[in-house]
Structure 1
Amino acid sequence: MKMKKKSYALFLVLLLAMSTFLAACGGGGNDSKEKAGSGGKGSDKSDNVLNLTETQDIPSMDSALATDTVSFTTLNSTMEGLYRLGKNDEAVDGMADGDPQISEDGKTWTFKLRDAKWSNGEPVTANDFVFAWRKALDPNTAAEYAYIMYDIKNAQAVNEGKMKPEELGVKAVDDKTLEVQLQNPVPYFKELLTFGTFLPQNEKYVKEQGDKYGLEANTTLYNGPFTLDQWKHEDKFVLKKNPEYWDADTVKLNQINTKIVKDTQTDVNLFESGDADLIKLSSEFVDKYRENEGFFTVKESSIFFIRMNQTKSEWLKNVDARKAIAMGFDKKGITDVLLNNGSVVADFFVPEEFAKGPDGKDFRESGDKYLKTNLKEAKKHWEAAKKALGQDTVTLELLNYDDDLSKKVGEYIKEQLEKNLDGLTINLKQQPFKQKLDLETKMDYQLSLGGWGADYLDPMTYLDMYVTGGAHNQQGFSNKEYDKLIQEGKTTLLLEPEKRWEALVKAEKILLEDEAAIAPMYQRSRAYLSNPKLEGVLFHKVGPERSYKWAEFK
């Protein structure tokens, strides 16, 4: 999710518009060592220890089960696939040693693996990829991101239980040669392989750990720039430089300490004392630190919205009620007051400055604005819903994250909707990050404040979320015309990019204007404070939020 692209990547975007579906160890350590890197503003940071904060704990270190930014960003530091994201979000060599060999029909990709080791000293082999990919697609794994692998031959059939995992179009020719068969030619497959679901796993180690794999620092194996050395749940996690990493000479940071902090005041205090080197600022601190040497903002591709679960409330099955909720609160109060960090009102689902069509124009120039704040219309729809349901009052529960900013946004939404929609009561339910994701996956909620960041550079990474029965359609939305447009956008229209683009624009209109399946709120920007000596942190527009492989203090 984040940042800009170079010219070759812009060319990739055009390919994306014409192409098929992509799909958005050990323990130890001690407090004295962790503290050594903080040093305050006067520290020269010569020990190259980076101190960070995060509002949420890591939900999972199992790449087959990860679904969130915190997990993918941590996996990005501790694991490595065939390729990883480099500057400008380009795919750079990881476990693959150079570019793949591609057959004339574009369906067979052969990768040569470099000599690399896991953190326990065992070699990384082609079978590590075969095992991990089969595991992600095995229906018994129930991986939400399995669909992102559907470009591989037989992947969907395996995931649906119609074929055995052994029939997946991937095989280890030998320890250092991986062959992948695709359903159709996919020009951007190399870039897709940077996504976290495509990471390898050591079969012997994973089977030894069983259900514990990925749940603790010492039940996970690493092949990336860092290892997860400590993981004290809901408190902190500590990464240490991985001496077994093939490119360890490039890695300058010796340690990364991440403290779980729920409120920005604590973040700021840690930064001021020198105990944090990179923090996110909430609205009340932006103006104070705007002139600070380390202040900067990043416009992301993340969209935040209200999920409306049609399976848990008769009211939310009613399209007028959904439209009333979507139009019944002032979005600018969120962006301009609660956030104050460059975030913009989202009357859309596919973000601004994200994907360009075959005409070279941004998707938002083709798409319209939908569900804009309109209290008069919201009240009309609300009264229509009351009449249809034969009720004058309703209480709905709003599921939310438990960090400071999310709480404020939740309280604001509650105040706005209760004031503007007569007879509506909103009860707030704050949950830790992992528990909230679990409740959404189980569809055990009514309303929920959600967010989505891009997995690849195409509008489909947002729009295919809401096909009937989709893994991320966790709210029971279904529309046959919408499903048809998305399916055509992945298949029959791939060689007709203009018509494909039109289909995706129409699909977004159905999702929002016609059905009000979700209530979009804002496209996020983030305001940061950074230690001026810190360089080389990469902010990504897709996939993991940041990369620290090239970071260092100068």
Structure 2
Amino acid sequence: MKKRIVSLLLVAAMAFSLCGCGSRARSKSGSDSSTSSNSNVTGKDTGKTTKTNKEKDTLFVNLASEPAHLDPALNSTVDGACLAVNSFVGLYTYDKNQKLVPAIAKGMPEVSKDGLTYKVKLNKTKWSNGEDLTANDFVYSWNRVVNKDTAADYAYLFDVVAKKDDGTLDVTADNDYELTIKLVNPCPYFNDLLAFPTFLPVYQKGVEAAGGTEPGKWAQEPGFVSNGAYTLKEWKHNESMEYVKNPNYYDAKNVKIKKLSFMLSADTTATYTAYNSGNVDFIDDVPTAEIKTVKDSCEFHVADQLGTYYACFNVGADLFKDMSPEKAAKFRKAISLLIDRQYIVDSVGQTGQKEADSFVPYGMTDGNGKKFKTSKDSFYDLDKTGQYGVKEAKKLLEQCGYKFKKQGEDKYSVTPAISLQYLVNEGGGHKQIAECMQQDLARLGIELNIKSEDWNVFVQDRKDGKFTFAREGWVADYNDPINMLEIFTSKSGNNDAQLGKTDSKAAPDWKEYDELIDKAHNEKDFGKRAKLLHKAEKMLMDTNAVIPIYYYNDIYMQKTNVSGVYSTVFGMKYFMYATKK
């Protein structure tokens, strides 16, 4: 899922608990962190706290700025997912220990011996307007996602589900409270998908009543019907959102906070100021310049995630039009070798991120009971990047036809001139990373021009391929490497690199990659499946269109009088069981 976080405070796998103020050091070499434990990495308890507000029934939160979509079928961002899981609920959800637990479902699915048929019994629950929610609502909602008119980026997640002769998903409501799901092949992560936002039910009458050609129109204003812990009551666009407790939520008796008030802003300085003044209880980011000030505070927390921060080239960009696919890959590799990842982590990140030497992050399992990534699965010698990568990068660019003239120690000018535009979304952290890269590339006389865009414009421009080079981030939707790799198939709406989507002669042939992912989806032997995924990652990394920078971790600040908020390694925050003293 696309990562929105504005500053650079991010690495690899766990949840955070929000109970005490403690101190736990983490080694930079923590590449073998387990995703099964519940971990919280915080600063020292210095006794320093900020102002708190006295409104016990309202939790004041900042996650990000104006959301692009509240329709769970259309969302593809982490912050949008956070809003979704607090206003909708599916068959399953995650508890505070990151354990997958039943929500609307009665117990875990009954699975056939061949792993192809799932039967799920549903509890009797209601929509926020009091109408019954039934198995047919899931049949409708899931088929809506895969309908081309919906144009859902995540439609490909349903590729694991079989289809009927009429082309609809082989998902059947046996009665109002029993659902049968047929799969194409056994899927080791299918239960996790059933908790993912794209699999959440939506209210058919509300969707159809909105009409029009905009699929998400029904959820663009307050008052729409949902089934989660909270419903949207008020929305001042680009300013604030107010959610109120849904009395028809299946677990409403355990929801204590009556209102969630969201401050909509990507300005970390403004949100940090609001937090310090007591106007906000929880912020999902901190200005980079303030990290040293707050990192020892009891209110500052760092939690691991499964995800990768990376830079991405558009393989169909004009920059490559006169190059062969091989030369274009060499050019991109040269750029990657020039980037000093450790300097970025130390100077901008500051919270123990781990440099990335592959796209699939450490901590991810392979679907066959083992860790996918080991020390052997590295695509970069990180000790030979940055200033130590200049020699090799220069050699690669010379093979692409560029000539260099020495201008000083480890500094050159290049002919013909190389000028790249690097696209980032607004916010200090991304620009600071870009400025680090700008200095790195300047060693070979390469000019990097930084262009900043508003979040929603930025997302769309990357999706449409209206860029040459851009910052990217992906946090796993479920713990399986196929989720990191399937986003680059030619049919994926999340394939910003445009691999397999452009007719540029400089772009690599992407048919084999698509076939590898399809084979992985259809392989019943999970050991063989893991090998297919390793081969796919190598093919992706060989294009050098994807340049991993570091593995994500997640920071937040929370008032000491707030408890009960929790998160998953997939970046989603759950506020429905929060309490305030």
Q: Considering the TM-score relative to the shorter chain, is it more than 0.5?
A: yes
Does 2:282 align with 1:254?
A: no
Quote the residue 1:137 is aligned against: 146
Does 2:522 align with 1:491?
A: yes
Spell out, residue by residue over 1:454-507, the C-alpha distance to the aligned partner (whole angstroms, 9 max, x if none).
011111111222234433222233445544443333333x4151x433333333
Q: Distance in 1 between matches of 2:206 and 2:432?
A: 43
Quote the residue 2:549 is aligned against: 521
Q: Distance in 2 between matches of 1:240 and 1:450?
A: 33
Quote the residue 1:21 is aligned against: none
Tell me whether 171-180 or 134-143 shows the greater mean CA deviation: 171-180
* Residue identity matched to 2:259: Q
* Cα distance change, pair 260–414 in 1 and its aligned pair in 2 (3 A): farther
- Alpha-carbon offset, residue 286 of structure 1: 2.0
Which structure is higher in helix share? 1
Q: Distance in 2 between matches of 1:168 and 1:397?
A: 42
Percent same amino acid among aligned pairs? 29
Please point out which of 395, 400, 410 is paired with 2:424.
400
Quote the residue 1:448 is aligned against: 470
Does 2:520 align with 1:505?
A: no
Spell out, residue by residue over 1:71-124, the C-alpha distance to the aligned partner (whole angstroms, 9 max, x if none).
111001000111112233222222223233334443222222222221222221
Q: Distance in 2 between matches of 1:451 and 1:230?
A: 30
SS, match of residue 358 in structure 2: coil
Q: TM-score normalized by structure 2? A: 0.81
Quote the residue 1:32 is aligned against: none
Tell me whether 406-415 or 59-68 shows the greater mean CA deviation: 406-415
* Cα distance change, pair 442–229 in 1 and its aligned pair in 2 (3 A): same
- Alpha-carbon offset, residue 253 of structure 1: 1.4
Q: Distance in 2 between matches of 1:355 and 1:221?
A: 37
* Residue identity matched to 2:316: T
- Alpha-carbon offset, residue 411 of structure 1: 3.0
Q: What is the 5 A alignment of 1:311-460?
A: 311-315=316-320, 318-355=328-365, 358=368, 360-361=370-371, 363-370=373-380, 372=382, 373=385, 374-387=389-402, 392-417=416-441, 419-422=442-445, 424-460=446-482
* Cα distance change, pair 235–404 in 1 and its aligned pair in 2 (3 A): farther
- Alpha-carbon offset, residue 272 of structure 1: 1.6
Tell me whether 237-246 or 281-290 shows the greater mean CA deviation: 281-290
* Cα distance change, pair 496–258 in 1 and its aligned pair in 2 (3 A): closer
Spell out, residue by residue over 1:133-158, the C-alpha distance to the aligned partner (whole angstroms, 9 max, x if none).
11111122221111111121118xxx
Q: What is the 5 A alignment of 1:47-446?
A: 47-154=56-163, 164-165=166-167, 167-186=168-187, 188-210=189-211, 211=214, 213-218=217-222, 220-279=224-283, 280-315=285-320, 318-355=328-365, 358=368, 360-361=370-371, 363-370=373-380, 372=382, 373=385, 374-387=389-402, 392-417=416-441, 419-422=442-445, 424-446=446-468
Q: Please tell me the root mean square deviation across aligned C-alpha atoms, in Å.
A: 2.8
Spell out, residue by residue over 1:279-318, the C-alpha distance to the aligned partner (whole angstroms, 9 max, x if none).
2224322221222222221121121111100112243851
Quote the residue 1:24 is aligned against: none
**Gaps spanning 5+ residues in structure 2: where?**
2-11, 17-31, 37-49, 404-413, 500-508
Q: Distance in 2 between matches of 1:351 and 1:101?
A: 31
SS, match of residue 281 in structure 1: coil
Quote the residue 1:20 is aligned against: none
* Cα distance change, pair 208–42 in 1 and its aligned pair in 2 (3 A): closer
* Cα distance change, pair 108–509 in 1 and its aligned pair in 2 (3 A): closer
* Cα distance change, pair 43–468 in 1 and its aligned pair in 2 (3 A): closer
Q: Distance in 2 between matches of 1:364 and 1:530?
A: 35
Count residues with an aligned counterpart. Answer: 509
**Gaps spanning 5+ residues in structure 1: where?**
15-39, 156-162
* Cα distance change, pair 526–181 in 1 and its aligned pair in 2 (3 A): closer
SS, match of residue 523 in structure 1: strand
Q: Distance in 1 between matches of 2:115 and 2:35?
A: 18
SS, match of residue 305 in structure 1: strand
